[in-house]
Structure formats: C-alpha cells, structure tokens
Structure 1
Amino acid sequence: MSGPDQGREDAVLVMGEALTDLVPEENGTLRPQPGGAPANVAAQLARLGVRTAFAGTLGEDDFGRRNERRLRGFGVELDLCGRSGRPTALAVADPSEEGTRYHFHLRDTATFELPDVVGRLRDFSAVYVGGLAAVVPPAADVVLATARAAARHSMLAVDPNVRTDRTLDPESSLRRLRELCALAHVVKVSDEDARLLWPGDAPEVPCRKLAAEGRLVLLTRGARGSSAFLPGDVHVSVPAVPVTVTSTIGAGDAFMAAVLAVLVRGGALRGGGPAAMTAAQAREALEYAASVAADVLGRA
C-alpha cells in the first residue's frame, strides 16, 4: 500500500460528525454532552498534544456552540469546519452492563453536511475517518471521497464504529465501512464491529487478512484487552487496565486517538509507515492506548 508523502508537519485531520449525546442521569433527566466518535477522537488527539484539525459541520444552535467550545477548548483547529443553520444531530444514549447503545435523530441536521476538504489533504500526514458520517447521507459520499484521496497522499486511519439504528440501512452501511477498511493504512475495530462487518468469522480472522495486505490492525475486546496485527502474521496482545467503570462512552475513541498520537510522536508516519512497526513498538502503543482508554472509562 502507498504511504504518506514526505516532508510535512505531522498533523492529523479528523473528518466526521460532532453531535450531541443525551445521557441518562440517575434522577431520570437527560444530560446533553458533546460527542460523535470523530469529534471525540479530535478532542483526545489535541489533548494528547497532537496538532489536530476537525472537518465537520457545526450547527448554529446551542448544541453546535457547545461542540465548538469543547473542541476549541482542547486546541482543535476548526478552520476547515462547515457551518449550517440546521440543528445538531442527537444521539440518545442507552447504557447497560453490555455497553452503551444509541437511538439517533439524524435527518435534516447540520452534522452530516460535511465540507469538501480533498484539496487540503496534502497539508496533513494523517487522516482519520469513521463514525456515523461514514454511513449517513449526504456525508457518506464526502467521507468516501476524502478517504480515497487520503489513502494516496496521507496515512489513512479508519474506525468503522458500527452503529445500528432504525434510520440506517444495514447492508449499505456495512458495505461502505468494509470499503473504508480496505482503503486504510490503520484499522481499529472492536470485536463487536468485526462480527457485524465480517459475520461467520472470529474477529481475529479478518484482522489477520487486513494486516497481511500491509496494514496495522487494532482489535479491542473491552475488559479482555486489545491486540495489534501486523504483516508477516505478527500479532501482540495486552490486557485491559483495571478500572472501576463509570461510563463506556468515548473509551474506544480515546484508544484510537492514543494510538494515532503514538504513531505521530514515534515517526511511524514516515518510512515504511505504521505496518512497519515492530512487535515491541505495537505492544507499547497498545499499553499506552489502554491507559488512556481506562482514564475515560473511570470518568463520567
């Protein structure tokens, strides 16, 4: 697979949705919380000291302003963001012992009117895409075009972050997400994602296949830890960091951001790219990502 162009500052462009999670409180109310997997990744990347730009569209309602304050507060660059008078998309969280599921309110929102940033991709050595924007029109076509261009000029990282909802076409959504994974240099999937994307196979099977084609593939298993798969049938695993879980929201996004931060800081965007990491380097990245995710799990 081709890698990123040389000679640029190691900055990351994150494309996708900044929406609002409505999170149930013990008193029965719903607490609005800025969210969206790509926005979470952007915020966490900037928090970890990586120069990060976000390419989403922010609504001009109160939820949109909250999202903007949050991203700016972490130091995320918003010059490439679109603006819209439509409202911000909502995701009503439904937490359980098995994790958090969502019920979405997505149609006719600002959130999925993504800007065209293909002409700016050469300014970034890494591009992240994923989340709902990868499957919700009209954003999905913009994400795919961006990913195709990024795969040629940058390091493309994809987290399919599979969501199911009455408003989403499962066949089309899974097809789009599989195509993005095939374009990527770095793929991060949960075990649940893998079972939905490649039914009938154990999660490790598609991870090994993707890695054999020249990718770094990350597989998260919640409390059972995580694994990295590399070309040459190399794989390493680390346990999860013990933590008293307060909320699972955003933990997978924090894990993804931490791995990207390691790749940026360690110079893995140069030379042979992420797939050229050694097993020892991959283990260190997993351990760091597990610690960052644990910090998120322990906070509301």
Structure 2
Amino acid sequence: MTGPDPRVLVVGEALIDLIPAPDGSLTPSPGGAPANVAAGLSRLGTRAVFAGTLSSDALGGLLRRRMTDAGVDLTHCGESDRPTALAVASPQPHGTRYDFHHQDTATFRLTPRTDGLDGFSTVYVGGLAAVVDPAAGAVLATARAAARETVLAVDPNVREDRSLDRAAVLRRLRELCELAHLVKASDEDMSLLWPGEAPEAACRRLAAGGRLAVLTLGARGSVAFLPDGRPLRIPAVPVEVVDTIGAGDAFMAALLGGLARFGRSPADLAPAAVLELLHRAATAAAAVCAQAGADLSGVRQSEVRQSAVRQSAV
C-alpha cells in the first residue's frame, strides 16, 4: 500500500482562528482542522501534502509561513485573491465554540483531486471544507476517488453555524464517514450525526463495514472499534489543560502518522498496533492541551513515539 517514504494528502481549509485573550482582545492564530492536521503530521515526522487554497492577503501569508515552517508540502495548494476565512473561537468548559466568517473567501475555493491518489499512503478529508460550498463538492469528489485508490481517513468534526444548512451538513458528513477506511470522531460528533444512537454503537456499526472507527471521549480517553466489533480502550494522558483548541487535530495527525509507518490498511491492523496508535495520538492531544494554540511546534516526534511505546507496554 505504501512505499518506504509514505505521504499523506490533506484536503481542506486553512483559516485564521481569532482567540479571545484575558483582556478581551482577539489574537489571530493559524487554524483550520485540515491545516492543523497537515502541520501536525509534518511536525511528527510524516510527509504531509496540503491541498487547500490560500489567500494572497496578509493572513494567507501567515498561514503559508506556518505550514512551510512545519515542513508541509504546498505544491498542491492553490492561491486566490479572495480574503482568508475567519473563525472566532469561544472557549467553553467542555470544548470550543466557533463563529465562522467564510462566505466568498479563498479558503473554500478548492479543486477536486481525483488523479494520482494511489501515490499517497492516506488521503485525509474533514473540517469545515467538507460542508461549506463550493469546497464541499471538491472534498466529496476527492473522497470518492480516494476510497477506491488508497486509504481514506475522515474526521467529521461537526461544526454548527448559523450560515450552514444543518440537514445538509449531517448528510454530507455521514456520506464521508461511510466512504472512509478510518473514521476518527468525538462522542459529540457521533451524537449529532446519528441522533438516537449511542456514540459507541454508531462507531461499532461503522467498523463492521470493514473500517477502523476511533471514538474520542475527552478526559475519558478514547476507544477504537475493530471490524469484528472488538473495542480497544485507553485512558486520556493526564495534563493540566490550558485550552483544547486543536487537540482533536493533533490526535488525528498522530494517528495518521502512525498508520503511515505501519503501511497497512487500518482494518488489517493487529490489536497491539491499534493500541500503539491510540497511545501515540493521546500523547499528541495532551501536548496541545497543555499549551495555548493548536500547533505541535513544541513537541518532538521522538517524545510522542517513546511515550506511546511506554504506555502500550503498561
């Protein structure tokens, strides 16, 4: 499935998070779930190729510098004169709420990527681009092609915003989950996507279709469901939380990086390998929670890998 130098194609948005400071001001910070995943992958030692669109404005320049500093390959990234999308963050006790300013921005002018996907070990799609037009159509076309040619990884990362059609959002994200070989979702995501069905039951059902389904539970850790229905659980890594912005994206980046190194389809992994992936991902998520912002710049890949091996041995 993969060569000796695996690459992950990340499709979606890079935008600016406006994060409230204690004095009430807003601090711009590079964000967007796919961009966070791409930067995290690269920081952790996996070659990441970002297929989004960056604005030629100053904020687009900030996003470009963030990814080039992390080592992300931007040769598949487009450029537009339209402005950069903004996400105003409102940290809450159990997560972060966002208000998005995305209409007619460069951020969501994506090009479908349907050729040459077998040259990537994994294609990741998710974030707001999966549900915001005109990007959503490009994301879906890319996901359908990736599902046929390589490993498709999806993080539904459900966002609710006044500008979005809720029914269309859920329909699009459910389709992506059903195309995927690897689904990573929070318990809140699953409750929104399949209301009336317990999150663990929904993940077990997804896994039964030949997928690896990973459910994150915040402070309660995470659980992966194998295609045969077996759950594999790990606790969260203890950490003093500064904020949770980007924690799920760091978890996904570490999960994808570990998967690329195994070089096998997620459904074919042995339970011990899945547990190692979960520990690796939990370590990266904890590292992001312990700092302000979504970047893994202060985390060395060796620390994540060694911590994962130690925890898997416990």
Shorter-normalised TM range: over 0.9
Partners of 1:234 and 1:279 within 8 A in 2:
no
Q: Distance between the aligned counterparts of 2:162 and 2:285, measured in 1?
A: 29
Alignment partner of 1:167 out of 138, 163, 173: 163
Partner of 1:297: 289
| Pairing 1:8-47 to 2, within 5 Å after superposition | 9-47=5-43
Q: 1:151 to 1:8 in 2, by over 3 A?
A: farther
Alignment of 1:157 with 2:153, yes or no, is yes
**Contact persistence 2:131–2:172 (CA under 8 A):** yes
1:102 counterpart SS class: strand
Cα deviation code 1:104-132 (max 9, x no counterpart): 00100000001232223232121000010
Could you tell me how far 1:234 is from its partner in structure 2? 1.3
Percent identity (aligned): 61
Q: Which runs of 4+ in 1 moved over 4 A?
A: 6-9
Displacement of 1:278 after TM fit? Answer: 1.7
Rate the CA distance shift 1:86–1:236 in 2: closer, same or farther, 3 A: same
**Letter in structure 1 aligned against 2:168:** S
Query: What are the superposed Cα offsets for residues 18-77 of structure 1, whole Å, 9 maximum, x if unpaired?
Result: 000000000111000000000000000000110110000000111100000000000000
Aligned residue number for residue 287 of structure 1 = 279
RMSD between aligned residues? 1.0
- Alignment partner of 2:64 out of 35, 59, 68: 68
Name the SS of the counterpart of 2:9 in structure 1. strand
Alpha-carbon distance in 2 for matches of 1:125, 1:265: 9
Partner of 1:116: 112
1:144-223 → structure 2 map (5 Å cutoff): 144-223=140-219
Q: Match for residue 103 of structure 1?
A: 99
**The one of 79, 89, 92 aligned to 2:75:** 79
- Does residue 276 of structure 1 match 2:268? yes
The answer for unaligned runs of 5 or more in structure 2 is 293-314
Secondary structure of the 1:157 match is strand
Residue in structure 2 matched with residue 244 of structure 1 by the alignment: 240
Q: Using the alignment, how far apart are the partners of 2:3 and 2:190 within structure 1?
A: 35
Q: Secondary structure at the match of 1:162?
A: coil
CA shift at 1:267, angstroms? 2.0
After superposition, the C-alpha distances for 1:108-164 in whole angstroms (9 at most, x for unaligned) are: 000000123222323212100001000000000000000000001110000000000
Asked if structure 1 preserves the Cα contact closer than 8 Å seen for 2:232 and 2:275, the reply is yes
Q: Which of 221, 228, 232 matches 2:228?
A: 232
- Normalization by structure 2: what TM-score? 0.91
In the alignment, the residues of structure 1 paired with residue 179 and residue 193 of structure 2 have an alpha-carbon distance, to the nearest angstrom, of: 15
Q: Distance in 2 between matches of 1:8 and 1:120?
A: 18
Is contact 1:8–1:125 with CA below 8 Å preserved after alignment?
no
Residues 195 and 202, structure 1, Cα contact 8 Å, conserved in 2 = yes
State TM-score, norm by structure 1. 0.95
Asked if 2 retains the 8 angstrom alpha-carbon contact of 1:9 and 1:125, the reply is no
CA distance in structure 1 between the partners assigned to 2:116 and 2:59 by the alignment = 27
Q: Is the 8 A contact 1:58 1:84 kept in 2?
A: yes
Partner Cα distance (2:269, 2:117) in 1: 24
- Would the aligned equivalents of 1:80 and 1:117 in 2 still touch at CA under 8 Å? no
